[in-house]
Structure 1
């Protein structure tokens, strides 16, 4: 609680007492003390045994740079996001003994004299009835919520950004405060633990310490988890880890020694691969290049054009994965734990204003699909081309693509186009033409999936010649849109969800029982 202190003094939330803790917030934001001021305060203490704050002078102050050190504590974002996430889903799901909405939390509301609709109601046999809060979910809603989390697959290599912009971090600082204030209007005061407050410092620390990926514990925790998973004999854990490590090294050696790729003997249709609408273009192209060679000699035609006209060899390589522009792509059949098959392509597409119109109009159209296969065409050893074969959603029909009320794009893979059945179909694309997306099933709209775009490819760096922030597609829904959803009049606030039964708890036991 108390995050309104970080808002501007004229913000509407500062004067909204009923939506928060029952009082207006006119205190200034806390000031971060400099190290020199802290050291002066510590040195002024004559008897540390009587001090309630400091017990000794830290040896860190002996370092020559410590007085001017701005990043005194490197917050571990991994554990912060873990605890914040657990706080949210445990409270939403009402997990016994883990939810922050419990009997003690309701007593806090009663003591603070706020949200009277949520106060515990005394029942016979020393029990209390806790009304269902506005964020309480029904059993069906909990199942839908858990199913979305269980079925969620994100692309491989989800990592923190390696390049940060100061203006983005400053906006993020403001949005973090606004998000926490919005959450104070929803959840009880007991929800806001120390970990919830530490989120306010993450963007500030990033401005000083740089990207999180260079100062986090993720890779350490992942490697420790891998080592622990190798323990098969608890009596000799070190021996188990050593044997597993030797086995992994042996497998890597064998896989590299026998890494010959197997080619599939199948004839590739050159008409489809050229992705043209003219059925005779490839024949004309081949004949035209041949006539130029006969007329002007072989040297009159560039080598790549000459071999391209002859077409690829009949045997093509088939890949299980391919990395393009930092994105790792895999065919849909290999989407097990991660989801690396989603693609998005924006292309110029011709359309006609009317059926009798002979003049096509070019316009940008965004296509959504999934990679089905990855093949490499070999042009007689001179050069090769890698192509993605994809299944594309029908983006021209409302049955294939639509927008929900929050602005998110929903797609339906039961309605496809460009299936490759006709010569004008174009299921193949080049890897450098697409961006990676992943799809999340929408439980509220069966058969539909929400499109989530990758914010940035893995292992990419800003060399100072990238597109401006205005040219980058931003998220269609963020915390700023919550204002219109949560802004209510004081006499129109409802803290209780009436269509769900509350719980009965014992006064000395927080374990809930079903209300009959």
Structure 2
């Protein structure tokens, strides 16, 4: 509740729900509220006892329930899938000692901790034992801790094996009793969850929380790169530990002759002031689509060249998308490469759909990435949160995608509980009263159609998937030539018109057999509208659908224009609206099949599917009397010389809007548009890095399958495959000190 008062809610989440309802507040039950002001710690078992009894009843006997849908009775049974909590609470619930030398509850005594005497902390840089048996990193000494690695990681214990270890542990409750920590004793108690009949059969009983792991890893990387006081993992004590362990001699601290200051040479991860400025300016200039994340600009302090006030979701967006983009052209290539690979790992496991066949390769890749971190970053970087990354793929295999078992929805629920604590003297009573009022109101809302259900936030896109203008409505009379292009775009993309398109092309080929393909298509585009109108007019009314009839007559003279438009779960703006907004909604991508010519004289064009990137200039609704069709007029980057792929990250696309397409087809159907946003490239400001927008349409307007809705190509915001660095380049990066600048860290010595 505050720094002086700690209240612990225990929540139950219903899991067998559709994806768009699972983890929503309406289906999270407050089963216990453990009062403060002190946290219960390991005594939480005392409070959990009644809940455990209820859970055993739900499994053994079940509870009679009535199903209103089938109008029948049934016996409800339930089981606990796993617990979701941060790492300290992991220890309180499981009984494992998550501090000290063997802090990992999965590795247990298989860990090889290293004590940093000057830094005064244990570290866990033992990733090489997770590599394949004959991996070359196992034989390297200088790049790691000075020793080879012959060990092999132990297979995690099953639930039954763990229970055999702890079943005889004596459990003593009470704050007044302080047990002396015995070396080698890893378990402090037997959790009451073991009383559940099925608990021993679960492979994963307590999930590692990816939200907090991402937050800690992101803070460590950013703090170390920018040398943020209190967050950096590189300081004088760490350098002294390097000297004591006789590793990385080029980074050992150097004292001035007068002894007043100590110089820490710049490591390979140390940014110069120029690089820090470029990094912060890149993040400061990012504008994201509506609902994507918080305003990144507010997190950047250009005066201090640091990031401030980052919440958990800010770190999630940063490490999944923005960090690899902001690091382009900064730091040595091998350091930038390994940071980006770790970011792509988090991007992969946070995806909503994961291919199980790729998980083994993903695990091997992240282990190798962590080994390379060990080669470049200071030993103090490898705390327990970094170590836990090794086990995340295993939990994805056993428990499924991360987004259904991380702490974000529960942190949001905690925020609603805090808002209910209106009486500081009795916060728990205020919370209980507020929760009861909400439950009563929610129950009544089910019987009153005019009320919205509590705890199920209504999307702003409800009723707008087909398209609706939201900002800047106006009625204009556009130039006839421009409106003709928009009308032609509509005709070319509607399925009902395809037979007419094919017939017109065949007639042109028959009348002009010597006409080349390019000239034939130009003539087709120039004459099709009039031909289509006459062709439909020849037929009887009963032979033509109403849609074809109204399309042949063309749109009305005036069109409705908008500055903002919602369609397919996206919010689009024009470029003008973007310039006066804190978000960027004007970026657009469309995937289309086209005939590609290598040059004007090319006689062998190639049919291919390409992605086209542009910026929305105008948003129109063409009125065909009985229906309207929204279209976007865009400026498109030239796919020949204005779009390129990064060499190391081939999935990373860059566009240059100084090189526009000379195509005479500026319009697209709004229903075909996918949202992207652009970030200025650090290497060349004329180019923009493309990042994919996101949307949430499941559960909106009866959409239950996004693929069925529109075969949406869910391109990740960053590439999933990274080209490895050349072996000779990676092998030569054994120098841990930067040689391209001398801006190390000066430490003032205290007398």
TM range (shorter): 0.7 to 0.9
CA contact (8 A) 2:643 2:656 kept: yes
Q: Deviations over 1:55-86 (max 9, x none)?
A: 33221111111111222222221121111111
Counterpart of 2:738? 497
Classify the secondary structure of the residue corresponding to 2:207.
coil
CA contact (8 A) 1:70 1:208 kept: yes
Q: Deviations over 1:15-65 (max 9, x none)?
A: 111111111111111331222222222234469756543333221111111
CA contact (8 A) 1:271 1:279 kept: no
Counterparts of 1:279-428 in structure 2, within 5 Å, are 279-290=526-537, 292-293=538-539, 297-318=540-561, 320-324=564-568, 327-335=570-578, 336-350=581-595, 355=600, 362-381=607-626, 383-397=627-641, 400-406=642-648, 407=650, 408-417=652-661, 425-428=664-667
Counterpart of 2:684? 445
1:190 lines up with 2:380 in the alignment: yes
Q: Select which of 183, 191, 214 maps to 1:58.
A: 191
Distance 1:260 1:3, change over 3 A: closer
Shift of residue 213 of structure 1? 2.1
Counterpart of 2:484? 271
> Following the alignment from structure 1 to structure 2, what is the Cα–Cα distance between the partners of residues 108 and 69?
41
Q: Deviations over 1:169-215 (max 9, x none)?
A: 33222222121111111101101111111222222212222222222
Shift of residue 322 of structure 1? 2.5
Distance 1:462 1:427, change over 3 A: closer
Gaps of 5+ in 1: 419-423, 510-516
What's the Cα RMSD here? 4.1
Q: Which moved more, 1:202-211 or 1:177-186?
A: 202-211
CA contact (8 A) 1:178 1:479 kept: no
Counterpart of 2:274? 140
Shift of residue 317 of structure 1? 4.0
Counterpart of 1:162? 352
Q: Select which of 150, 154, 177 maps to 2:367.
A: 177
Classify the secondary structure of the residue corresponding to 1:170.
helix
Distance 1:465 1:280, change over 3 A: closer
Higher relative contact order (CA 8 A, sep 6+): 1
1:23 lines up with 2:262 in the alignment: no
Distance 1:361 1:68, change over 3 A: closer
Counterpart of 1:10? 134
CA contact (8 A) 1:131 1:503 kept: yes
Q: Deviations over 1:100-140 (max 9, x none)?
A: 01111112211221111111123333642211111111111
Shift of residue 507 of structure 1? 5.1
Q: Deviations over 1:299-332 (max 9, x none)?
A: 12222111100112344444523233x5554434
> Following the alignment from structure 2 to structure 1, what is the Cα–Cα distance between the partners of residues 425 and 567?
42
Shift of residue 333 of structure 1? 4.2
Q: Which moved more, 1:359-368 or 1:209-218?
A: 359-368
Classify the secondary structure of the residue corresponding to 1:487.
helix
Shift of residue 488 of structure 1? 1.3
> Following the alignment from structure 1 to structure 2, what is the Cα–Cα distance between the partners of residues 355 and 465?
39
Distance 1:215 1:351, change over 3 A: closer
CA contact (8 A) 1:263 1:316 kept: no
Classify the secondary structure of the residue corresponding to 1:169.
helix
Normalization by structure 1: what TM-score?
0.80
> Following the alignment from structure 1 to structure 2, what is the Cα–Cα distance between the partners of residues 321 and 219?
29
Q: Which moved more, 1:67-76 or 1:38-47?
A: 38-47
> Following the alignment from structure 2 to structure 1, what is the Cα–Cα distance between the partners of residues 673 and 469?
29
1:35 lines up with 2:159 in the alignment: yes
Counterpart of 2:66? none
Shift of residue 334 of structure 1? 4.6
Counterpart of 2:345? none
CA contact (8 A) 2:170 2:189 kept: no
Shift of residue 435 of structure 1? 3.6
1:110 lines up with 2:355 in the alignment: no
Shift of residue 486 of structure 1? 5.5
Classify the secondary structure of the residue corresponding to 1:167.
helix
> Following the alignment from structure 2 to structure 1, what is the Cα–Cα distance between the partners of residues 423 and 200?
50
Distance 1:287 1:27, change over 3 A: same
Counterpart of 2:448? none
> Following the alignment from structure 1 to structure 2, what is the Cα–Cα distance between the partners of residues 288 and 464?
34
CA contact (8 A) 1:157 1:458 kept: no
